[in-house]
Chain A
Amino acid sequence: MNISKFFLSLIITIAMLLLMDPRSFYGLAFHEWAGLVIGIFFILHKILNWGWIKKVTVGFFRKCPGRARFNYILDVMLLAGITLMILSGIAIARTIDFSWLNLGGSRMFWRVMHTSSSFITLALFGIHLGLHWNWVLVRLHLKKSKNGKEN
């Protein structure tokens, strides 16, 4: 389970970096399709960590460590960022036809939204990784798990 979580996170990170420049890798078609796929991977990432989400959601306003609370808020912001990124990406897509969705709003607005949300989300991704750095080190066998609860 942890190995699959690790590889999924690694794929999301690499894909996210490649998606930051629409001209990178195989151009706009890759950018748009990979952008949709990363959304699916993100949902999968949430499903794999559903136990933690459930636990913190229930205990958020009760007894909950400050760190878990901060991670939870960061995750909610990441979720909002990813959602905005995909939504605005759909609105300005050129190689895939999403005109049937009728999202409304001007193209200019969605473009600005897409750039801003992706830049903010990348920064949040970096912070998220930094806060889970111990988990990464344990997965890479560079650090020993303290009590076997580095999940």
Chain B
Amino acid sequence: MVKKISFLILSVAIMVIGIIAFGKLGYWNRSVRIFKYSSDTPFEGRQGRGPEGREGFIRPEMRELPDSIRERFESREGRPGQGMREMNMPDSIRQQFGPRSGERIGRGSNDGGFRNSEGHGRGEFPGGKKINIRNVKWFLAVFAAFTVIAIYTDKMVCLIRRRNGKLIRNSESTG
């Protein structure tokens, strides 16, 4: 019994985290986007790139900035990615992340990445390769939630079938 209750609590916790992750990733919108797609609609890119984008998304180069500077930067411009040039930030950081160094090549370019950083592809950052699994945990949460839903739905279906089978057998034996 204790085992069953602890599994139930664990399942509820997984479900709650899964629902949070579902909202955070904009899972539904991004899943059904292909069904709403028409070639006339302007492309907004991955959610989070625009000002109305995914909550909590931070551009890769912004992630490397100290929190205090990032906050100041975002509150001043309202949107990450603007006004890097005018921003009042230490020279060392400006050199590393400013528009002059590590300037991004246009979206249409095939190689992508940072112009002044050798060997960095898109999604990789200057200052050495880093293993970044920040978003993976949210996907894991959604995946686990779907698994839990399937396990309990399967159990419920089995239980209902067994109960129905028992009822039929009982009615046959009495009738």
Contact = CB atoms under 8 A, between A and B. Distances in A.
B133 A109 contact: no
A109 B140 CA distance: 26
A108 B107 CA distance: 11
Contacts of B134: 21, 24
Interface residues of A, number: 37
Contact of A122 (B123, B139, B149, B153): B139
Contacts of A125: 143, 146
A109 B41 CA distance: 11
A112 interface: yes
A24 B130 CA distance: 9
Contacts of A122: 139, 142-143, 146
A36 B150 CA distance: 28
Contact of B147 (A18, A20, A108, A129): A129
Nearest to A129: B147
B16 to A, nearest CB: 16
Contacts, number: 120
B135 A109 contact: no
B121 A108 contact: no
Contacts of A24: 131-136
A131 B154 contact: yes
Contact of A28 (B30, B37, B121, B145): B121
A23 B135 contact: yes
Interface of B, helix, strand, loop or mixed by DSSP: helix
B144 A109 contact: no
A119 interface: yes
Interface in A55-82: none
Given A94-B110, A123-B142, A27 B121 contact: yes
Nearest to B111: A94
Given A24-B136, A112-B34, A127 B150 contact: yes
A120 interface: yes
A20 B148 CA distance: 20
Contact of A116 (B32, B129, B147, B150): B32
30 contacts: A13-B143, A17-B139, A17-B140, A18-B136, A21-B132, A21-B133, A22-B123, A23-B123, A24-B132, A24-B133, A25-B131, A26-B129, A27-B123, A28-B121, A28-B124, A94-B121, A108-B39, A111-B43, A115-B33, A119-B27, A122-B146, A123-B146, A126-B143, A126-B147, A126-B150, A127-B150, A129-B143, A130-B148, A130-B150, A130-B154
Interface of B: 27, 30-35, 37, 39, 43, 46, 60, 110-112, 121-124, 129, 131-136, 139-140, 142-151, 153-154
Interface of A: 13, 17-18, 20-29, 31, 94-95, 106, 108-109, 111-113, 115-117, 119-120, 122-123, 125-131, 133
